Structure 1
């Protein structure tokens, strides 16, 4: 018996994977004094954890979503997590222009799901 619906599980797993990937790709920006090779190795290790959630998310999600729909879900989640990360971890401003740009990208996901609604 599955505890979580195949429609919900990929979303939850992609949220977790994107937290790891955001730290792998951008977390090092607070540590510019560290050697690049060390940053690459640490980022690679974090990215490995990301794959442990992303691969099952896509495997489970493929039973109910198309590949383009899964990609759209992942992109919307990535933008959302990145916006939070930018403000909370990097301490950078999130402007109205950022919000509009992200909303336009997220709006594209609507068309990938339009036939499913």
Structure 2
């Protein structure tokens, strides 16, 4: 399953383990909930980052309130949580609302 770049993809109902295993390169999972104000504030930043890193990164949203089975393997205790994977392996994680500049520098450090 190839995930498109350039926009944030909602993976509700997907087999996230298969996405992680099959996807090559960087993939960022945004673990969020619609009741989480910092999560809602982060959404437009992630939209911008998806466009900025169109050739290097795929961004997927995981709504933990709707799909607990998908979210469970990520073991996120705080929202929002951003889990960064490369070639099927988690390489880093950021917890909480961060600025666009902070996230840009964080992602660039993994390119």
Question: Scaled by the length of structure 2, what TM-score is found?
Answer: 0.29
**Which has a greater percent of helix?**
1
**Which has a greater percent of strand?**
2
Highest Rg: 1 or 2? 1
Question: Scaled by the length of structure 1, what TM-score is found?
Answer: 0.28
